[in-house]
Structure 1
Amino acid sequence: MANDLLGTGGSATRNPLTLLTVDELRQRTSTKWRMHPPDVLPLWVAEQDVPLAAPVADALRRAIDLGDTGYPHGTAYAEALGDFAARRWGWHDFRVAHTTVVPDVMMGIVELLRLVTDPGDAVVICSPVYPPFYSFISHADRQVIEAPLGPDLRMDPAALDDAFRRARAAGRKPAFLLCNPHNPTGVVHRRDELETVAELADRHGLRVISDEIHAPVVLRGAHLTPYLTVAGAENAFAVTSASKAWNLAGLKAALAIAGPQAAADLDRMPEEVGHGPSHLGVLAHTAAFDAGEPWLDLLLDGLDANRTLLGQLLAEQLPAVTYHRPEGTYLAWLDCTRLGVPTEPVAEPGVASQLVGPAKMFLDRARVAVSAGEVFGTGGAGFVRLNFATSPAILTEAVTRMGRAGQAYRPATD
């Protein structure tokens, strides 16, 4: 069992999503498996049902054996990411000197917003989008302006232009918080789309911060373009980590990266921010980028298979639900509006634990936990987000349960 959990031995060429049973997963104490009662199958928060990749486990074990649990030091994390970015995305001018370690991606984003915007300034986001964008921006005393995605769930240039214009009118130092790839839709932005973002940001005077936490999780048929490789993005930032691809959210460490014209701003990052990352986190993320690609490739094959399986299951079990096939991430954005489940506004956009609409129905009637689309902002009502980074068996059982609940559901009539 130990070898299987580590992804070594006989499991070294196997799909990481197939290595753990439900009983093993229920021994975990993280939020995915402890938020709900044991009869609930959790397909909500972005944790994967996988064992640690062997290089990550080995790095952590070595540190524990040595008692190497002090403060992080050096640039090995940034160097590993730079090498990974060159191999994976063709980003050959990645500059280690233009990076700094931050506690996690969202804290890095907030600190960057504090560097380049002032209290009261506007931050544009493309809704529906990752719920903490709303809460973190508002808690930092900045205002949110939405630029809703188009009907194809891709960024709408006209909506961006209008939102950027309004953001510029609302304050001296507006910003755009990009999600690349996009959560919850799974869209991987094309280079031409990102070039449009850069052109509009330059025209209206917005600084761009790109959340690229899901960047390594790009599925067959799509290609990730790091925002900082796009012409016109020289004064922008990106923030990323290995946490989503290698399931390391509990090992805190991320990297903020500045374009060449933004390096001076990054140099103003307060010293105390660098005390937030965990040394074990830095070691784990470094090992993932440095030696975790074989494991990642097996994972991506498994996710691609699950992506296809999910489409088949929905067609069989929930034909009223429209499935937008994701290009990246392991998150599926499901249109459940045809089920007729009443929706209602959430108390506070951005609080991901709120359950309304179809998500509440699936929890109550199917004992399957998915994320309510309403918490993702404008455009989310009637949708749910489903995390398919689990075993085919769990995915099949969950969608089968959802299908029975959906078929039995009858909208209330006057």
Structure 2
Amino acid sequence: MSDSSDGIAGIPHPNPLRRLTLDQLRRRTSVKWREYPEDVLPLWVAEMDVTLAEPVVRAVTDALALGDTGYPHGTGYAEALSGFAHRRWGWDGLAVARTKAVPDVMTGIVELMRLLTGPGDAVVVNSPVYPPFYPFLGDLDRRVVEAPLGPEGRLDLDAIEDAFHRETAGGRRTALLLCNPQNPTGTVHTAEELTAVAALADRYGARVVADEIHAPLTAPDATFVPYLSVPGGENGFSLMSASKGWNLAGLKAALAIAGPAAAADLARLPGEVVDGPSHLCVIAHTTALREGVDWLDALLAGLDENRRLLTKLLAERLPAVRYRPSQATYLAWLDCRDLGLGDDPAAAFLERGRVALNGGLPFGTGGAGHVRLNLATSPEILTEAVDRMATG
């Protein structure tokens, strides 16, 4: 029996991005649709304008009907992710025994950094990168040290080595918080790049924690490589979740995964952390990984169509904007520096065109003059957004 039962055999699953109208979306009460007035088109925060995979809806609804709202139990989530990793990425190294459920990816990152580093130690990031890395690590009293991406948006190994060399001097503990795939650029790091990172970490005694939440959202022409699968990754950690791939941000759950040489560190995670995810959230994520793959494939095809559409729209309406279609995620990183809108073009697009995007400045070095656009929406909304950006 197939593990992907949200479609009918032989019949393509409908594009989840084409199922909801703008009026329906405006009935939502999440932050994406409530942060701005109704005349604003919100293409900012990482929420998708989709109907959910039917098996997920059914599993949660059935649990509620049954009153199955107690505490989570067992390793079903980890088993589902391990099976998905095998089928999707050909990776058999995700051992259920080396996983711990955590409330969400950022909580898992913070708790691992608390174990691997001490107050005042450095955590290296590759900017531009997911903005919450900065305040979460700062609140933990860790110093965020940037090793920016290279000019082509790929990992700069020399910059990473310079940071490791400098920050491990005198025996200080240092970690790399790796974003794979990269948010906001959508870059998928190659096996060669990740192997080189692992070698550098081993040479300098640094630890690597990989945020791999966008891993299921890899484009058809790219191959996601789990950090823990590369030679030298055995001493690292990964944080994975079905949250981004299946639009389950409101149903928080994630898994912290240790490489074979890091299992003892993972075992030190405090009980209040690993007891954090709710039973309903675990049900939703487990079902998505086991039964929501047809839905995911339809979503990925729709996102690929939207990348091509955005390329065409920008060429026609905003040719000064530079855009390299991403290899993963549902985010588009737009270089708007030639528009003359200053360091924060998102402010201009909001004021003039009533389109809400993420400004690039919070993403760190490399973010000035850029915006992040969420293209996980209908082609009609995407088209209207670019029209507004061009004419506002």
Is this a same-fold pair by TM over 0.5? yes
Alignment of 1:111-260 (within 5 A): 111-169=111-169, 172-260=172-260
Cα deviation digits, residues 82-133 of structure 1 (max 9, x gap): 0000000011132000000000000000001011111111000000000001
Shift of 1:172: 2.0
CA distance in 2 between counterparts of 1:218 and 1:57 reads 24
Q: Are positions 1:400 and 2:390 aligned together? A: no
1:292 aligns with 2:292: yes
Q: Name the structure 2 match of 1:307.
A: 307
Structure 1 residue 166 displacement after superposition: 1.9
Match of 1:57 in 2: 57
- Contact kept in structure 1, 2:181 and 2:187, CA below 8 Å: yes
Following superposition, the deviation at residue 8 of structure 1 comes to: 8.8
Q: d(CA) in 1 for partners of 2:134 and 2:170?
A: 17
**Aligned-residue offset at 1:167:** 2.0
Task: Give the secondary-structure state (helix, strand or coil) at the position aligned to 1:396.
Answer: helix
Partner of 1:14: 14
SS of the equivalent of 2:168 reads helix
- Given residue 156 of structure 2, which amino acid in structure 1 is its aligned partner? D
Aligned equivalents of 2:171, 2:48: Cα separation in 1: 40
SS at match of 1:219: coil
SS at structure 2 position matched to 1:262: helix
- The answer to whether the Cα contact below 8 Å between 2:101 and 2:275 also exists between their aligned partners in 1 is no
Residues 210 and 197 of structure 1: CA distance in aligned 2, closer, same or farther (over 3 Å): same
Alignment check: 8 A CA contact 2:181 2:212 kept: yes
Is 1:208–1:237's contact at 8 Å kept on the other side of the alignment? yes
**Displacement after TM superposition at 1:204 (Å):** 1.0
Distance 1:255 1:73, change over 3 A: same
Cα-to-partner distance string for 1:152-193 (whole Å, 9 max, x where unaligned): 011111111111112213862110000000000010011001
Distance in 2, matches of 1:273 and 1:200, equals 30
Work out whether 1:96 is the aligned partner of 2:99. Answer: no
Q: Residue deviations 1:32-74, cap 9 Å, x none?
A: 0100000111100010000110111011011001111111110
**Long gaps (5+) in structure 1:** 1-5, 344-356, 406-414
Partners of 2:185 and 2:234 in 1: how far apart? 27
2 CA distance for matches of 1:88 and 1:173?
A: 35
In 2, Cα distance between the equivalents of 1:325 and 1:394? Answer: 18
Residues 325-384 of structure 1, C-alpha deviations (whole Å, 9 max, x = no match) = 1000011100000011122xxxxxxxxxxxxx1000000000000000011000100000
Alignment check: 8 A CA contact 2:346 2:358 kept: yes
Q: Residues of 2 paired with 1:8 and 1:381: CA distance?
A: 46
Q: Whole-Å Cα distance in 1 between the matches of residues 162 and 293 of structure 2?
A: 41
Aligned amino acid, residue 48 of structure 2:
Q
1:45 matched residue in structure 2: 45
Instruction: Write out the 4+ residue segments of structure 1 that deviate beyond 6 Å after TM superposition.
Output: 6-9
1:124 and 1:167 in contact (8 A); partners too: no
Cα drift, residue 275 of structure 1: 2.5
Q: Which residue of 1 aligns with 2:3?
A: none
Give the TM-score normalised by the residue count of structure 1.
0.91
Question: Does the residue aligned with 2:100 lie in a helix, a strand or coil?
Answer: strand
Contact 1:177 1:210 in 2 (8 A): yes
Whether 1:388 and 2:375 are equivalent positions in the alignment is: yes
SS in 1 for 2:107: helix
Matched, 1:23 2:28: no
Report if the CA contact (8 A) 2:130-2:183 is conserved: yes
2:361 aligned with 1:374: yes
Report whether the alignment pairs 1:358 with 2:342.
no
Of 171-180 and 124-133, the range deviating more from structure 2: 171-180
Q: Is the 8 A contact 2:7 2:294 kept in 1?
A: no
1:254-278, Cα deviation, whole Å (9 max, x unpaired): 0000000000000010001122211
**Count of residue correspondences:** 386
Equivalent pair of 1:15/1:299 in contact (CA under 8 Å): yes
Is the Cα contact below 8 Å between 1:105 and 1:240 reproduced in 2?
yes
Any unmatched runs of 5+ in structure 2?
A: 1-5
